[in-house]
Amino acid sequence: MLTRPTLSWTATGEPAPRTTSLDEVTRVVSGGRVVVLSGAGLSTESGIPDYRGPAGSLRRHTPMTYQEFVGSEQARRRYWARSHLGWATVARAEPNAGHRAVAALRTRGHLSGVVTQNVDGLHQAVGTSGVVELHGRLSRVVCLGCGRKSSREELDSRLRAANPVFEGSASRVNPDGDVDLADEQVRAFRLVDCSACTSGVLKPDVVFFGENVPPARVQRCYRLIDNARALLVLGSSLTVMSGLRFVRHAAKSGKPILIINRGETRGDRYANTLVDLPLGQALTDLARRLGC
């Protein structure tokens, strides 16, 4: 069963008290067995925009849903044309200070796991081990017919061959790796099918809005949280249930929940500590305090 996409939420009531002090976060993380849940806000300092921040792409862009993608060849053409141009920017993105600090905290044993809602692969690029990619990764492609997985580089090469004169501007890339294109540019774009079964529809190996996270992946995240002492949320508005459910699960178990994010989140009422600081600055300071 597919979930109805949740693209936004509206905060009600008085905002929960926030702080710029990392003292409580430092105290909890120093005890170890902390699971990180990271969101798009962690990657904005790498040049990848988020959906819902002050300059978030949802203010100008509606992301593709799973239902649209599988139900319409024209929707797939629009997605792949736009993504073909935007992919280069995502592929060039490099881990920032926040990613490096998370890797250091993991190496020193303070973190027992990392669950990321991001599809950019930047946690792994800096060497963080044991990352659960909740929503998949843009660098992989899956055939909806035969199930074969392949690299985005392979698909990119095939799309360039099929569209040798395709041009467009990638000056403003969205979090899902695509750019804004005029309709006439989209209409001229040629799709390619799976090279293995020759007829299957190709889809990025990511969970689209309206698509369910694979159950085995969800259960792995629950186990990580069950075995943790605390949950540390980094740069996520927690708007979508795929991430918020883990915050609720930790709260139900009475585990401390720490959130570092710019602005309010949908999970604020479950948190013990809310820190409003830039992620790179905050995590670098946290790692320094803990001798990483």
Residue 77: which of 2, 196, 178 has the closest Cα?
178
- The tokens 């925009």 sit on which residue? 49
Q: Could you read off the pLDDT of 91-143 as tens digits, one per residue?
A: 889 999 999 999 999 999 999 999 999 999 999 999 999 999 999 999 999 99
Neighbours of 101 (CB within 10 A): 25
State pTM to two decimals.
0.90
**What residue ranges define each of the domains in the chain, with the CATH number in brackets?**
17-48+95-135+212-292 (3.40.50.1220), 56-92+138-206 (no CATH)
Tell me: is residue 221 an annotated ligand-binding position.
no
Tell me: is residue 283 an annotated ligand-binding position.
no
Phi, then psi, of 180 in degrees rounded to 5 = -80, 130
- Candidate list 61, 110, 135, 249, residue with the active-site label: 135
Q: Who has greater pLDDT, 89 or 163? A: 163
Q: Does residue 15 surpass a pLDDT of 90?
A: no
Bridge partners of 257, per DSSP, are: 231
Tell me: is residue 164 an annotated ligand-binding position.
no
Q: Mention every residue, 6+ apart, whose C-beta is less than 8 A from residue 222.
A: 246, 249
Q: Could you read off the pLDDT of 189-229 as tens digits, one per residue?
A: 999 999 999 889 999 999 998 899 999 999 999 999 999 99
**β 136-143/202-206 pair status:** antiparallel
pLDDT value of residue 186: 85
Whether 110 is catalytic: no
Tell me: is residue 46 an annotated ligand-binding position.
yes
